[in-house]
């Protein structure tokens, strides 16, 4: 068997339906396009979301809120979590972003914000991108220092 012996299967030999060739063909008069309307005209093309004049989906569904494209997304870390990680030996007293990443509290490209939930007894030095007032107060109360990293 080689390429010269190959034949197309029987369904592939079917002729295309010729429309607009008289009444006897079964596809005369309107050529399978029905009567009037946009779909019977030449050059008609519909939009993918067109619903035949029905109120379209994007107008039926209610919309809420506003998405600020300039919003800065922070990874929240609480003071209590930092305290637990220090007690467990996963963090030292001098904490940088790289240490938080290696401890699994943040990912590589995330910005970190320190929040004030929990208690802190240890004196720590920590550098983060942002911090809440309560977190800053707790760190200073424990005798530590808070450094804000510029973005």
- The string of pLDDT tens digits covering residues 8-65 is 777 777 788 888 888 888 888 888 888 888 888 888 888 888 888 899 998 999 989 9
Please give the radius of gyration of the chain, using alpha carbons only, rounded to the nearest integer: 35
**140 part of a folded domain:** yes
* Residue 65 lies inside a defined structural domain of this protein: no
Task: Evaluate whether residue 129 is within a structural domain.
Answer: yes
Whether 126 maps to a domain, the answer reads: yes
Pairwise CA distance, residues 88 & 105, whole Å: 14
The total number of structural domains that make up the chain: 1
Q: What is the pLDDT of residue 17?
A: 85
Tell me if 25 is assigned to some domain.
no
Q: Which domain holds residue 97?
A: 74-148
Q: If DSSP codes are grouped into helix, strand and coil, which group holds residue 74?
A: strand
Instruction: Supply the pLDDT for residue 26.
Output: 83
79 phi and psi, to 5 degrees?
A: -60, -40
Q: What is the CATH number of the domain that holds 104?
A: 3.100.10.10
Q: What is the pLDDT of residues 86-111, one digit of tens each?
A: 999 898 889 999 999 999 999 999 99
């Amino acid at each position: 068997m080689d390429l010269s012996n190959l034949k197309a299967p029987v369904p592939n030999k079917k002729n295309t339906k010729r429309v607009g060739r008289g009444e006897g063909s079964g596809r005369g008069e309107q050529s399978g396009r029905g009567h009037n309307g946009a779909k019977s005209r030449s050059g008609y093309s519909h939009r993918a979301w067109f619903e035949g004049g029905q109120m379209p989906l994007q107008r039926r569904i209610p919309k809420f809120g506003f998405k600020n494209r300039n919003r800065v997304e922070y990874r929240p870390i609480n003071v209590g979590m930092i305290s637990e990680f220090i007690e467990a030996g996963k963090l030292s007293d001098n904490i940088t972003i790289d240490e938080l990443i290696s401890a699994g509290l943040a990912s590589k490209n995330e910005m970190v914000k320190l929040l004030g939930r929990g208690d802190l007894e240890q004196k720590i030095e920590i550098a983060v991108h942002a911090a809440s007032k309560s977190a800053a107060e707790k760190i200073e109360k424990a005798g530590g220092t808070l450094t804000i990293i510029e973005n």
